[in-house]
Amino acid sequence: MRRVRQGSIPDIIQRYRGIVLVVAVPLFLVCFILFVVSSTPGSISRKAIPGGLAGSRSYAVIFDAGSSGSRVHVFCFDKNLDLLHIEKKLELFEHIKPGLSAYANDPQQAADSLIPLLEKAESVIPEGLRHKTPVRVGATAGLRALGDEASEQILQAVRELLQHKSSLKFQSDGVTVLDGTQEGAYQWVTINYLSGRLGKSYADTVGVVDLGGGSVQMAYAISEEDAKRAPKVSDGEDSYVQKLFLKGSHYYLYVHSYLHYGLLAARAEILKISGDVSNCILGGYHGSYEYGDETYKASASPSGASYSKCKDDAVKALRVGEPACANMKCTFRGIWNGGGGDGQKNLFVASFFFDRASEAGFIDSNNPVAKVKPAEFEEAAKRACQLSIEDAKAAYPRVATDNLPYLCMDLVYQYALLVDGFDVDPNLYITLVKQVPYGDSFVEAAWPLGSAIEVASSP
C-alpha cells in the first residue's frame, strides 16, 4: 500500500488557493460592513430601544389635567396593542398638585407647571422614537368650570409649551378640554381593556362610575334595543349613546357626565344648601371652602355634624327626582339612566371612591382592588360624623388636613350618589379600583389609557 504524503500548511494553501479566495473575500466584506454599521454614530441598536427594533413598539403620552392635579401617563404598546413594560412597570405615572385650573389668572404658569411631568415622560422614551410618539393633553372638569375664555388661554399656553419645548409628536388639536362623555368612554375602555373583556359580548363587560373632583361619569354597555330607546337631546348636548368598535366587537355605550357632581364640586353644592352653618362639617371646625372662583362658608353646627341631616342636604344637592321622569327610569336631575341591564350588573367604581374608602379605613390601602358594598360608605359616614375635628385627627391619620373637616360630608355624599342618585342596591358588591391587574403588574384605572389606545390605533 502506498503511503500518502502529508504536505505542509503553506503547500496546502498554495495548492487550493483558488478555493480559499472564493470563500475568504465575501466573508471579509461581510465582516467589514458589520463593523462599519456598528461603529456609525446614531445607529439604532437593541440597547437603544429595549426589546428590539423600533417597529415592534410604539409609545403614547397622555396628560390628565384634572381639577385636583395634573398627571402624566406614558404607555408602550406592541403591534397587537398589548401593553409592554416601561422601567419594569406597564406605565409611567407621575402627578403634581395643584391642577391647571389653579392658575386661572396666569396661563403661562399653568403651562410651566407641566414641565417636570413632560421631562419625566420624555426620559423613558427612546430618543429615536420621541418624534414619533404622540402627546395629548386632556383637561377635565376643573378647566370646564373656568369658562371658555380662561380655559382656552391656558390650553394655548400648553400648546406653545409642547410645540417649542417638547421633542414629542405634537398636534394642536391634541390639547383640549375633554367633554364628559369622552372622559367616561375612555374610562370604560381602560377598565374593560385591562380586565380582558374587550371583544366579548356587551353582557360580559363591566360598568364604570368614575368620581373625579369636578364631575362624575357613569358608563356601561347596553343592548342595541335599549340604545334605540335613548331619548333625544337638545342641540349642543352630548348624546346618551356612543357606538364603538373594539377588538372586533360593536358596543353601544351609555355614558353621561354630571358636571358639578365630582367630589370637590359637590362640597360646594352641599354648602349652598346648608347655608352659613353646615350639618356635614365636623364639630369644632370654622372656616371657608374655595371651589372655582367662589368661596363658601364652612362652619360646623354647635352640636357637630349629623349623619341624617347631612344625608338630607346631599340628596337635595343631587336634586333626586327633579324633574320627574314620566316614561323612563332616571338617575338624578332627570337624567336617563340607560335602561340598566347586564352591562351594568358588574360595577367598577374608581377615583375618589377608592381614596376615601382607603382613608376611612374600611379597605386595605395596600391593595389597589377591593370588593365592598355601598352600605359600607354609610357605616363609615356614621362613624366619622360623630367626631369632632380634633378627635378625627387621631382617628384618621391618613386623611389630609385640608380634607379632614369634610370627611363626614364626603362619605355621606358618596353613599347618597350611589344609592339615591344611581339607584345602586346598598348591599350589592361593587369593585373599588385604583389600579387594575394586567399580566404581572398593575395599571392606573384612569381614562388616559383609553385615550392612548385610540391614538395608538390611529395611522
In a structure prediction context, what are the per-residue pLDDT tens digits for the chain, which is 459 residues long? 444 444 554 454 455 555 544 445 444 443 433 333 333 333 222 222 333 344 589 999 999 998 889 999 999 999 888 999 998 888 999 999 999 999 999 999 999 999 999 999 999 999 999 999 999 999 987 888 888 899 999 999 999 999 999 999 999 999 999 988 898 999 999 999 999 998 899 999 999 999 999 889 999 999 999 999 999 888 778 899 999 888 888 999 999 999 899 999 999 999 999 989 999 999 999 999 999 789 999 999 999 999 999 999 999 999 998 887 766 789 999 899 999 999 999 999 999 999 999 999 999 999 999 999 999 999 999 999 999 999 999 999 999 999 999 999 999 999 999 999 999 999 999 999 999 999 888 898 999 999 998 888 776
Backbone φ and ψ of 261, nearest 5°: -120, 15
Residue 191's nearest CA partner among 403, 1, 347, 33 is: 347
Domain limits, the chain: 54-178+438-457, 180-428
C-alpha–C-alpha distance, residues 230 and 456, integer Å: 31
Name the grid cell of 180. Answer: 364628559
Chain-centroid distance of CA 454 in Å reads 14
Coil, helix or strand for 326? coil
- For strands 294-300 and 286-291, give the pairing: antiparallel
- Name which of 278, 298, 280 is nearest 289 in CA terms: 298
Q: Quick one: pLDDT at residue 55?
A: 56
Give yes or no: 122 in active site. no
What size, in residues, is the chain? 459
Q: Which of 113, 158, 120 has the alpha carbon at shortest distance from 139? A: 158
Same CATH fold, 180-428 and 54-178+438-457? Answer: yes
Reported as type and span, the H/E element at residue 414 is helix 407-416
Residue of 122, 160, 183, 290 marked catalytic: 183
Q: Which amino acid is at 399?
A: V
Question: Cis link prior to 323 (omega < 30° from 0)?
Answer: yes
Which residues are bridge partners to 254 per DSSP? 220, 241
CATH number of the 180-428 domain:
3.30.420.150
Superfamily of domain 54-178+438-457: ATPase, nucleotide binding domain (3.30.420.40)
CA gap 83, 194 in Å, rounded: 9
The pairing of strands 70-78 and 92-96 is antiparallel
Closest CA to 192 of 380, 350, 340, 370: 350
